Chains A and B, each alone.
Chain A
Amino acid sequence: MKLLIFPLCSLLLVLTVEQGTSEENSTEETSKGQSLIATGSSPEETSRVTPLRWSSDGDITMKGPHDLHQLVLTSHEGDGKKDVTAIAGFSVEPSGIVTVSPTGLIRVIGNGSATITAEFAGSLLSRAVKVNQADEQLPISFPNEIVPIFTRHGCNGGGCHGKAEGQNGFKLSLLGYEPQDDHGYLVQEGLGRRIFRASPTHSLILLKASGELPHQGGSRLARSSDDYKTIVRWIRQGLPYGSDGDSPVTRISIEPRERLTRAKAVQQLRVVAHFSDGSSKDVTRIAQYEANDEEMAIVSDRGLVAMQERTGSTSVMIRFQEHVGVFRATIPLGVPVDNLPSSDNLVDQHIFTKLRTLGLPPSSLSDDSTFLRRATIDIAGRLPTLDETDKFLADTDPEKRTLKIDQLLASTDYADYFAGKWAAILRNKRTSAHHARGSFAFHSWIRNSLHHNVPYNSFVRQFVAASGEVGNNPPVIWYRTVKDSKEQLQDVAQIFLGQRLQCAQCHHHPYEKWSQDDYYGFEAFFSKVGRKPGAQPGEEVIFNKIGVASAKNPRSGRALPPKPLGGKELRLAQHHDPRDSLADWMTNEDNPFFARMLVNRYWKHFFGRGIVDPEDDMRVTNPPTHPELLDALAQSFVESGYDLKGLVRTICNSTTYQLSSDPNEFNLDDRQNYSRFYPRRLPAEILLDGINTVTNAKEKFSGQPQGIRAVQLPDDQFTKESYFLSVFGRPDMNSACECERADDVNLAQALHLVNSTNIRNKLASDNARAALLVKNTEFSDEARISELYRRAFSRTPGPEELNVGIRYLNRKRTPADPSTLSEEAKKKQRSPEAIAREPYEDLIWALLNTKEFLFNH
């Protein structure tokens, strides 16, 4: 047994790859590989128990002289797994069949069978490899082998030749989604000037790409690279597109798919394309890689992931043609997590498992005040009343949190708050005075559905397939705002399925699998929405037109029948309303999008971040932080009969939701593992209502009953009407995205709270809280301050806080000594009432401007 190991050499190579700057010369790499070939590995040696594993089992079969195969070698050490691909030694026996580079890449030399043996830290592992057709030039498939090269090097990106008008006269389809077109652009367009068949390396395409001729995009392809050579071979072969017999790629797989690793560790990936005929091919070197968060991990163009210093979870996106895969890496902090209570709550099980894996200790459980304020805001859209606070804090029932959640869900406040949330994304707009009846009715329909906890599937069906007129079926109002069938399909896909299809209208969605056929097939569901004038001006009757449902793909010119996303085309009878079929498909319990989207939306509502974030962009390339949790929540939601209140119960009763927002020494930076509650600014309506309850002010909104709370407002009009609501980000309801609601803090908001006449009037009116407090002379300052704290923060003030308040009040109440004042100042002397009131106005003003008030924490 004789092995040659070059740890230093491998290490250098890893460093080069990590930096990702130098273009590795493949011939050089091969020669290194050859020098590693050793002889004499015996089967007995490798069969003993070894901690080493390949990423996939079985013999390796390679076809043709240019086939590549990336090995991924893992060493199992205790519970952990470590990628040793780049630091193991590889030997091949017999020689002359294949070589293995130090990075584990197998290249073909000749036909035959060989055994590859890896050696790491004294352990061995072998694997058979078989090479066929090593002396034949296999025909190159343009879509499967050439187009990915353009994608990988950014040639067909949206900022370059991939944009609609191309770049400097040369156009490619965006990210290679139309390979047929690309073949034409390259081979035929420009009188064939881009290709020089007599001398392939003098083809314009290669001279430009390699930077030998000036190229605005710079030098992209080194002459020594595999990709360059592949294009040369393709030109030599006579520019084939590939035969009809070429099977399309059906999916790609990633090895490994996830890994628990360490900071500064590396992980080699292997990417395999699977074809419709059942064959597969290693595409590690032609796939495209993108790291989600470069502070956590970076990835080279050969699929080598290098973890950085930061801990947490991250992912690397791998793309090949329109197929997408994800590698997830978790880099634990490694602190012992022993403060987790046992919990049978679904949310906690998954969140706690991840926290244990990460070694990230969560914050402690929030106190009763914080819980009460948080749950009341999130469920009922308001601050707890003084009475609620006092009762809850005094209550000794160990089940009081659960009971409070039930109580809030049963109140109409829950329906008020969530109706506003849904009305915004269902775009309940009033664009003319005639629209009020409809927008009020739609809002009230949503509110009733939520209050009576209509199962979500049936709620959505009633609305998506709505027919009739507003008087008897308010959800038809949606079709009034969202007029165009393209907008309808886009909104429905985004709101209920988490799929953003807008891009697919004009081209294959760059980060998604959806094609234009998918887009127009989905549009066909809305192709028979008929309208006629309704009972009153500005109203319509929505009905299903008789006819064949179809929508035309302008690119192919084909009229497409309705087709669910990822499903089969439907043939529907002429009288059938295709929207019913759409609702059937959407609300089928096997629908992969429907329940996940909803639970993710609600998750974000309660945690400020989606498990997939943004919550309504659930494409493959935007992976969830907790996929198992998302699945489990969705499944439980389906099994509950789409019980929305039940979902809220599950979330709010979890320890995870009830954790304190105060960070411990480990989790201040945590933004996605829920090891503490993430504070967020109160939404515009809740903030306005909260200020009004604390100051005892009432808001007036046109056409609405006196004293209506902002959270109850039915449509978009009031955002325009109220500067407060617009500056704090209440949406204009122009889009199906909850992101239209601004949740940031900005200078205009600070100015408004600090200095507006609006707030001033709320503080200083004769019915205002300050005036009321002062009027009630039975109460001490302590009692008054305590009341204010309980109203604003749902807690009693600490001794130091009482002290600060009392000192301030006393100082401000001391009238200036008249003898020290000028005549003019004497005239300005305030009345005794003002002297009593103003310090309280100041105190209330200060409480309203604290972080504790402005944030849900």
Chain B
Amino acid sequence: MITFADSSPYSRRSFLQVGGLGLGGLSLSQLIGWRASAAKAGIPLKNKSVVFLFMHGGPPQQETFDPKMDAPAEIRSSTGEVKTSIPGVTFGSTFEKLAERANRLAIVRSYTTGNGNHDIKPIVGKDSLGANIGSLFSRIAGANVPTTGMPRNVALFPRAVDADSQERVKQFGNLLAHGTVGASCAPFAPGSAKNGLQGDMTMWMSRQRLEDRMYLLNKIDNLKRAIDNGAADGLGELQKQAVNMITGGISEAFDLSGEDPRTIARYDTAPLINPNSISKSWNNHRNYRDHGQTLGKLMLLARRLCERGAGFVTVTTNFVWDFHSDKNNAGAAEGMDYCGVPFDHAVSAFLDDLHERGLSDQILLVCCGEMGRTPKLQNNGGRNHWGRLAPLMLAGGGLRMGQVIGESSPDAGEPASNPVTTENLIGTIMHTLLDVGQVRLMENLPRDVHQLVTSALPIKGLS
């Protein structure tokens, strides 16, 4: 049935009646318009977006935003430090460009993820009801922007910009999880195959003909409702979403060739790391390659999608921040060369671009991994898993920037003040995206989602 959200004023029955007047009665586009105004009235959106750059593997504290150069040699940053634009605050020396832009960042030095397991808990975990945070947002805001069909919740993996990169890493958790809020709220993950998804989003028939076809399909389906249970339940909803996307003309949103080549060049991190210079002795060398080749473009794509209405964009490369110095992974210093350098560049380009476009306050960037790393450097230069402190960086979103929130213990091992949890992070994200006071008044939300969004306290000192 062509309705465009759960709360559409057009029930199946009423639309059938409308349809019964003949196809000239009320067009699909009119319905879409209707729905859009309903959305404005009902959903307390702040019209902001969040880009969550997930540093999968668990980045170290010292080599990123908390160098501890006064600590003993085995504690302090193995890459040294660099002064930032905030007096008295330094970063690990890899982050030269970010250091210059520190006045546009908020660094949290007291963030804990709770345990040192490889998973994806800041973004999908028990704090987020087993769903990607974006899926919860989608459940509240609607899966697609009504006027364009743009999915509100998108996840970008290296394949979205580079067909040669590896398939996304799945064994540590499903970043496309939707928990109990429904498959239609799951992150939309674009691919890069030419004849694949993007092609299917490009409408080739007339809008009128697509409308006619959908009308006919629903008529036929309705005469045989018995299959409408179990596995088939989601299909009708997905077909509606598909039509929304096609008629909204959003396929161009996923196509970077619509960007000025100079902009692409500015973001691109591929020239920074020559894949041949990555030591093949690490089993994960292909992951480092994917990270360098794609991170810049992924950030550009994220910006492009936010401009077109995406509300929550998950960005991650292929599991690179696991600096053990074991068979699979490089140690902290070498790892920062492979991972930190592209990160520094891509995030800086992103921030500059937002600044120039006047979007800094409209888009919140969040960067963290699933944990931190052991305060003590091992003899082989690796750092192991650490659940009691993890790096967290935020930028923009209209929050107060140019500050360090919380202090860490002298060994960067645990929070010394103002401990921040994933629940706080989710609070900050939800308060950025939504007028939470109004969400409180929304009916028809699952109780656990309602509870989570309205009770998660944002990180103190940011707003």
Q: Which residues of A contact B (CB under 8 A)?
A: 159, 163, 165, 661-663, 668, 671, 678-681, 723, 727, 743-752, 754-758, 760, 798, 800-801, 804, 808, 811-812, 838, 842-843, 845-847, 849-852, 854-855, 857
Q: Which residue of A lies closest to B197 (CB)?
A: A748
Q: Which residue of A lies closest to B216 (CB)?
A: A846
A470, B28: Cα distance in complex, Å: 59
Taking a contact as CB atoms under 8 Å apart, the answer to whether A843 and B216 are in contact is: yes
Instruction: Sort A-B residue pairs by CB-CB distance and give the 8 closest, nearest first.
Output: A750-B242, A751-B200, A750-B238, A846-B217, A662-B226, A851-B227, A846-B216, A751-B242
Total chain B interface residues with beta-carbon distance under 8 A: 49
| Contact (A850, B221) CB under 8 Å given A679-B227, A747-B188 | yes
Besides the known contacts A663-B226, A748-B197, A846-B220, 9 further A-B residue pairs in the complex with CB atoms under 8 A apart: A662-B226, A748-B196, A748-B200, A755-B200, A842-B213, A842-B216, A846-B213, A851-B228, A855-B232
State whether the Cβ of B239 lies closer than 8 Å to any Cβ in chain A. yes
State whether the Cβ of B173 lies closer than 8 Å to any Cβ in chain A. no
* Cβ-neighbour of B227 out of A165, A661, A743, A744 (below 8 A): A661
Taking a contact as CB atoms under 8 Å apart, the answer to whether A849 and B232 are in contact is: no
The number of residue pairs between A and B whose CB atoms lie closer than 8 Å in the complex comes to 135
Stretch at the interface among B132-140, B201-209, B437-445: B201-209
A-B contact pairs, 13 of them (CB 8 A): A661-B227, A745-B238, A746-B238, A751-B242, A754-B239, A755-B210, A757-B195, A798-B223, A842-B213, A846-B213, A846-B220, A854-B232, A855-B227
Query: How far does the Cβ of A221 sit from chain B's closest Cβ, in whole Å?
Result: 21
Which chain B residues lie closer than 8 Å to A679 at the CB level?
A: 227, 229-232
State whether the Cβ of B246 lies closer than 8 Å to any Cβ in chain A. yes
Taking a contact as CB atoms under 8 Å apart, the answer to whether B223 and A800 are in contact is: yes
A579, B146: Cα distance in complex, Å: 62
Taking a contact as CB atoms under 8 Å apart, the answer to whether B226 and A850 are in contact is: no
Which chain A residues lie closer than 8 Å to B223 at the CB level?
A: 798, 800-801, 804
Taking a contact as CB atoms under 8 Å apart, the answer to whether A756 and B200 are in contact is: yes
Taking a contact as CB atoms under 8 Å apart, the answer to whether B231 and A745 are in contact is: yes
Query: How far does the Cβ of B238 sit from chain A's closest Cβ, in whole Å?
Result: 4
Listed residue (B193, B199, B202) with the most chain A CB atoms within 10 angstroms of its CB: B199
* Cβ-neighbour of A750 out of B193, B213, B228, B235 (below 8 A): B235
Taking a contact as CB atoms under 8 Å apart, the answer to whether B199 and A663 are in contact is: no
Q: Which residues of B contact A (CB under 8 A)?
A: 22-23, 115, 117, 183-184, 188, 191, 193, 195-197, 199-205, 209-210, 212-213, 216-217, 219-221, 223-224, 226-232, 234-236, 238-239, 241-243, 245-246, 384-385
Q: Which residue of A lies closest to B190 (CB)?
A: A748
Taking a contact as CB atoms under 8 Å apart, the answer to whether A755 and B229 are in contact is: no
Taking a contact as CB atoms under 8 Å apart, the answer to whether B234 and A745 are in contact is: yes
Query: How far does the Cβ of B118 sit from chain A's closest Cβ, in whole Å?
Result: 11
Per DSSP, chain A at the interface is helix
Which chain A residues lie closer than 8 Å to B204 at the CB level?
A: 755, 757, 760
Taking a contact as CB atoms under 8 Å apart, the answer to whether A747 and B241 are in contact is: yes
Taking a contact as CB atoms under 8 Å apart, the answer to whether A663 and B197 are in contact is: no
Query: How far does the Cβ of A404 sit from chain B's closest Cβ, in whole Å?
Result: 22
Taking a contact as CB atoms under 8 Å apart, the answer to whether A852 and B197 are in contact is: no
Which chain B residues lie closer than 8 Å to A727 at the CB level?
A: 196-197
A165, B193: Cα distance in complex, Å: 41
Which chain A residues lie closer than 8 Å to B220 at the CB level?
A: 801, 804, 846-847, 850
Taking a contact as CB atoms under 8 Å apart, the answer to whether A751 and B245 are in contact is: yes
Which chain B residues lie closer than 8 Å to A808 at the CB level?
A: 212, 216, 219
Taking a contact as CB atoms under 8 Å apart, the answer to whether A681 and B246 are in contact is: no
A838, B206: Cα distance in complex, Å: 12
A744, B184: Cα distance in complex, Å: 12
* Cβ-neighbour of A754 out of B183, B242, B384 (below 8 A): B242
A812, B220: Cα distance in complex, Å: 16
Which chain A residues lie closer than 8 Å to B241 at the CB level?
A: 747, 750
Taking a contact as CB atoms under 8 Å apart, the answer to whether B209 and A668 are in contact is: no
Q: Which residue of B lies closest to A795 (CB)?
A: B224
Query: How far does the Cβ of A740 sit from chain B's closest Cβ, in whole Å?
Result: 12
Which chain B residues lie closer than 8 Å to A663 at the CB level?
A: 226, 229
Which chain A residues lie closer than 8 Å to B201 at the CB level?
A: 751, 755
Which chain A residues lie closer than 8 Å to B197 at the CB level?
A: 727, 748, 751
Q: Which residue of B lies closest to A789 (CB)?
A: B220
A851, B234: Cα distance in complex, Å: 10
Taking a contact as CB atoms under 8 Å apart, the answer to whether B212 and A851 are in contact is: no
Which chain B residues lie closer than 8 Å to A159 at the CB level?
A: 115, 117
A850, B117: Cα distance in complex, Å: 44
Taking a contact as CB atoms under 8 Å apart, the answer to whether B231 and A812 are in contact is: no
A163, B22: Cα distance in complex, Å: 66
A849, B201: Cα distance in complex, Å: 17
Taking a contact as CB atoms under 8 Å apart, the answer to whether A849 and B200 are in contact is: no
Which chain A residues lie closer than 8 Å to B221 at the CB level?
A: 850-852
A123, B196: Cα distance in complex, Å: 73
Query: How far does the Cβ of B461 sit from chain A's closest Cβ, in whole Å?
Result: 26
Q: Which residue of B lies closest to A752 (CB)?
A: B200
Which chain A residues lie closer than 8 Å to B117 at the CB level?
A: 159, 163
A350, B216: Cα distance in complex, Å: 44
| Contact (A851, B238) CB under 8 Å given A746-B183, A842-B213, A842-B216 | no
